[in-house]
Chain A
Amino acid sequence: MITASQKPINEIAELVEPYKKVLILGCGTCVKTCFAGGEDEVAVLASVLRLKFKKMARSIEIEELTIERQCENEFIQEASSGVDRNDAILSLACGAGVQAMAKRFAKKVVLPGVNTSFIGIQESPGIFTEECSGCGNCGLATFGGICPVTRCSKKLLNGPCGGSQKGLCEIDPDTPCAWHLIIERLTTLGQLDNLKTYIPPKNWNTSLSGGPRKLIREDHII
């Protein structure tokens, strides 16, 4: 999932202040799972903004809506009447959702209500960890399913740096050493020989470093 966290309330309040009618638009997929932008967060944010603006003796009309996904036109469609009724949209979707809304409603102001962070998982209730950097050339088969590109602080591809202690990374002792985990897992899988494969310096052209990327599936284009 794509993780995000809500922007500080006062930053959000400043963003919406110029508008009289604001639609807070949640997204029911990734940002809901990480408690940043699902319908519960929409309801809380709406209530907080109403209180804040009342305290400032300012009037603002807030409409609440959550759609299944803001990154797909099919679902965005469901928001169109709400979008029409309001002066601005405060989107609690990830950056892709915000931009998809802006593309779809060219004349409407679309504001981001969350800071989009990383591709990750919910490791345990309330704790989310980064797992993939979307490098565009996945090597997980060699690394026993644990990504050193993302989870090793030094992005080492040919074994550990040697500084880990008790399985924890020397850069950040709150983080497990990715290479410690890789070696443990390759041992379990009986694939420790994978370590003998030399991994050449990574070609970052397939990552964002090569510029904005586009995925084309010719068979789906009519």
Chain B
Amino acid sequence: MKIHNKPKLTLFHCLNSFKETASMFDGCEVKTVKMACSSMTKDVHLLRAFESGADAVLVLVCREKACRYAEGSIRAEKRVNYVKTILDDIGMDGKRLNIFNTSSKDSGSINDIIKKTLLELEIIGPNPALNHFN
């Protein structure tokens, strides 16, 4: 399925895992949600991002050992996996939600993640619960 309008991404990130750069979001509309710690990743917030129009939701957290609050990244990953199963259950495709370990110093890998997400969206299509694409 081809996406006609710009895909919408919602990007949750902890303070230490992400820093926006100028060309990072070419080709998509991005809403960023800053979290003091990745352990604040909550199932309901991820789901509401989809309700609000996101075609894909990304959660960027520090590497497990780099997490300043020890367990934040582990908790975030478990919650993301839980929501992925819910999305699969309701036919929304869990592939449109993903978590990555990143560092704010490494904008290159974040660029790659976004590119990969846009390519994935070309395959799985827009958010099936909304019809904002023509």
List A residues at the B interface (Cβ < 8 Å). Answer: 8-10, 13, 40, 43-44, 47-48, 50-52, 54-55
Interface locus among B44-52, B60-68, B104-112: B44-52
Give the residue of B44, B90, B92, B129 whose beta carbon is less than 8 angstroms from that of A44: B44
List B residues at the A interface (Cβ < 8 Å). Answer: 42-44, 47-48, 50-51, 86, 89-92, 128-130
Majority secondary structure, A binding face: helix
CB closest chain-B residue, reference A8: B89
In the complex the two chains form, what is the Cα distance from A36 to B106 in whole Å? Answer: 39
Task: Determine if B90 and A47 form an interchain contact, defined as CB atoms under 8 angstroms apart.
Answer: no
Task: Determine if A51 and B90 form an interchain contact, defined as CB atoms under 8 angstroms apart.
Answer: yes
B42, chain A: closest CB distance, angstroms: 8
A33, chain B: closest CB distance, angstroms: 17
CB closest chain-B residue, reference A51: B129
Task: Determine if B51 and A50 form an interchain contact, defined as CB atoms under 8 angstroms apart.
Answer: yes
How many residue pairs link A and B with beta carbons under 8 A? The number is 40
B53, chain A: closest CB distance, angstroms: 11
Task: Determine if B47 and A48 form an interchain contact, defined as CB atoms under 8 angstroms apart.
Answer: yes
Task: Determine if A40 and B90 form an interchain contact, defined as CB atoms under 8 angstroms apart.
Answer: no
Task: Determine if A9 and B89 form an interchain contact, defined as CB atoms under 8 angstroms apart.
Answer: yes
Task: Determine if A10 and B129 form an interchain contact, defined as CB atoms under 8 angstroms apart.
Answer: no
Task: Determine if B44 and A43 form an interchain contact, defined as CB atoms under 8 angstroms apart.
Answer: yes
Task: Determine if A44 and B89 form an interchain contact, defined as CB atoms under 8 angstroms apart.
Answer: no
Task: Determine if B44 and A9 form an interchain contact, defined as CB atoms under 8 angstroms apart.
Answer: no
Task: Determine if A51 and B50 form an interchain contact, defined as CB atoms under 8 angstroms apart.
Answer: yes
Q: Which residues of B contact A55 (CB under 8 A)?
A: 90-92, 128-129
In the complex the two chains form, what is the Cα distance from A192 to B25 in whole Å? Answer: 71
Task: Determine if A54 and B130 form an interchain contact, defined as CB atoms under 8 angstroms apart.
Answer: yes
The verdict on A47 contacting B48 (CB below 8 Å), with A8-B89, A9-B90, A10-B90 known, is yes
- 8 more contacts with CB within 8 A, not counting A52-B90, A54-B129, are A10-B90, A43-B44, A48-B47, A48-B90, A52-B91, A54-B130, A55-B91, A55-B129
Q: Which residues of B contact A54 (CB under 8 A)?
A: 129-130
Q: Residue among B43, B86, B90 with the most chain A CB within 10 A? A: B90
Q: Which residues of A contact B86 (CB under 8 A)?
A: 9, 44, 48
Q: Which residues of A contact B47 (CB under 8 A)?
A: 44, 47-48, 51
